[in-house]
Amino acid sequence: MIGKVFRFYYNGFRSMTWGRKLWRIILIKLFIMFAVLRLFFFPDLLKRDFSSDEERGNYVLEQLTNP
Amino acid sequence: MFESIDMSLVDWSRGQFALTAMFHWIFVPLTLGLSFIVAFMHTIYVRTGDEEWKRITKFWMKLFGINFAIGVSTGIILEFEFGTNWSNYSWFVGDIFGAPLAIEGILAFFLESTFVAIMFFGWNKVSKRFHLTASWLTAFGANLSAIWILVANAWMQHPVGTVFNPDAARNEMTNFWDVIFSDVAVNKFLHTVTSSFLLASVFVIGISAWFLLRKREVLFAKRSTVIASMFGVIAAIATIATGDTSARIVARKQPIKFAAMEALYEGQTHAPLVAIGAMRTDTTKLPNPREDFIFKIEIPNALSYMVFLTPSGFIPGITDLVYGNTEQGYMSYEEKIERGAVAIQTLKELKKAKERGDEATYSALREKFSDPVWLDEYYKHFGYGYYKGRELKELIPNVKLSFYSFHVMVILGGHFLIFSLIVLWLSLKNRWGNHKWLLWVALITLPMPWISSQAGWVLAELGRQPWVVYELMPTITAVTRLKPGAVQLTFWIFLATFTVLFIAEIKIMVTQIKKGPGGK
């Protein structure tokens, strides 16, 4: 069963004509998004700067009460 | 409040989010609508066995695939921005956004990655019925995955089914069903999906018109047009009906947005609906500045009738809402600001009591956040408290933008209905294609649903300003205190990346359209 599913996908990708260009675009796009933008420009700041939910909550509470 | 915040940071953060969301929304509606049109065409092929329907299905499936591939995961960038640029907001709403988005992610991954692959690779590899099922499941899967993000957006417009936890500074879901079945969420989903169906119909009719103009693939183009125009007529009627319900909901839940949509400053019974108009800014009147009409054509009583189904219904204007109207039961913004400030002060004192270990004070204050009367009198206006000492005009959405985006959307919606009806009628009489000028109209109409769809989102999102979570969290408190330069940099990176992707989409699509249904 797993072999059949694998062959289905494998043959599908191999027989692509116009779709190959699309896959290249998808892969480049995902690379830019996750390996460049996410890594260097878009960290999850609350996760990065605080180690617990309590600290995160306190930080946001401070922001909300002393804007 | 907010004295310390750099307003250019807020503007750039908003600009960046708007750019990303609007780019994402180029692809999504076509995916939602075209998936169903392809499934219909595929069904006709399976039922008739006619090879021409197979060619038709494969051609539109190919365009669906291009759009899907270029557009897929552009929405994830929005989630990046939540964590970086809108960290206060994403913490404040965390649980509400977390659950729907997690479900969306899982559904989208399993349904789309499985059934899209079968849809594309399944020709002659799986049984015809299984293949057709995959096409339908792709369509349902794509539309179902849209539910969750729309539910999250609806909650921001009308926060229900949640309670604010002052210790954690975040909202917690108390009733999942209230969140997903709120009238705002249900109608938002229906209006968004039906308008996306309409967009895809106009797309198919427009491309088919191009083939007819060039006298190529005439049978293919005519058959495609029949399906798309049928789908388009039903979708246009449903879009107008859900749009009408949406306006009624906005009038009750977000009256200032509704007043801005119509540039209505003085409330009235027998309120007319502005069918068309142009505005100028008058800086001498209050609320200052105020938009006045250079000219307008009105439909008498229509606005009151639209909301209350009777011409005697009172529609509050911007002045009634900002300065209050005790006769009609509208509290002034000054009063709301005072009450909101009390709620913020209570939260501040609770935080201090907790920090110094003053258990008695803490318990007394904590109790307020679970007291329905206090919540209704004070916490309900929490967001207004941030505007103490600031100008009231900051609480009014951009009237010109709201007015024009609403009217562009409605006028184009009317055009799509009339257009789809004409195309369907001529197609059924086998006369579609006889009038060259009508084919040109179809081609010119092709990009218009994107304009009306984007205008709808501009109205929904700008019309509810200054709030990110309606009346609870202003945009200005939601933003992360970053350096404006850092946000500007990513804005330009996005603009460059999106432009390249958009050009790639157009180029690949045009190439495949030119090749036609027979092309490889």
Structure ipTM: 0.83
Tell me the CA end-to-end span of chain B in Å, nearest whole number.
62
Give Cα separations from B495 to B18, B23, B78, B498, B501 (angstroms). Answer: 11, 9, 14, 5, 10
Residues of B in contact with A66 (CB under 8 A): 348
Contact A64 B88 (CB under 8 A): yes
A30 assigned to some structural domain = yes
- Pairwise CA distance, residues B297 & B421, whole Å: 26
A45 to chain B: closest CA residue? B84
Of B62, B120, B167, the CB nearest to A57: B167
Contact A60 B169 (CB under 8 A): yes
Amino acid at A60: V
A18-54 residues labelled b (16+ CB within 10 A) or e (exposed): ebebbeebbeebeebbeeebbeeebeebbeeeeeeee
Number of domains chain A contains: 1
> Mind telling me how many Å the CA of B41 is from chain A's nearest CA?
21
Q: Which of A27, A60, A62, A66 should be substituted to probe chain B, the one whose Cβ sees the most B Cβ atoms within 10 Å? A: A60
A10 assigned to some structural domain = no
**Tell me: the pLDDT tens digits for B455-495?**
999 999 999 999 999 999 999 898 888 888 888 888 898 89
Q: Which of B62, B84, B345 should be substituted to probe chain A, the one whose Cβ sees the most A Cβ atoms within 10 Å? A: B84
A12 assigned to some structural domain = no
The mean pLDDT of chain B is 90
Amino acid at B266: E
A26 assigned to some structural domain = yes
CB pairs under 8 A between A and B: 114
Question: Which residues, at least 6 apart from A6, have a Cβ–Cβ distance to it below 8 Å?
Answer: none
User: For the ranges B242-246, B322-326, B515-519, which has the lowest average pLDDT?
Assistant: B515-519
Amino acid at B487: V
Q: Are A21 and B126 in contact (CB under 8 A)?
A: no
> Mind telling me how many Å the CA of A39 is from chain B's nearest CA?
10
Contact A42 B80 (CB under 8 A): yes
Chain centroid offset of residue B315 CA: 24
**Which pair of structure tokens corresponds to residue B412?**
């184009």
Which residue range(s) make up the domain with A61? 19-65
**Tell me: the pLDDT tens digits for A29-53?**
888 878 888 888 787 888 888 888 8
Residues of A in contact with B7 (CB under 8 A): none
A4 assigned to some structural domain = no
- Pairwise CA distance, residues B347 & B484, whole Å: 29
Nearest to B67 by CA among B204, B233, B219: B204
Residue B316 preceded by cis peptide, ω within 30: no
Amino acid at B479: V
Query: Given phi > 0 = left and psi -120 to 50 = alpha, else beta, which region is B254?
Result: beta
**Tell me: the pLDDT tens digits for B137-171?**
999 988 888 888 899 899 999 999 999 999 988 98
A9 assigned to some structural domain = no
**Tell me: the pLDDT tens digits for B22-74?**
998 999 999 999 999 999 999 999 999 999 999 999 999 999 988 888 877 77
Residue B383 has pLDDT above 90, yes or no: yes
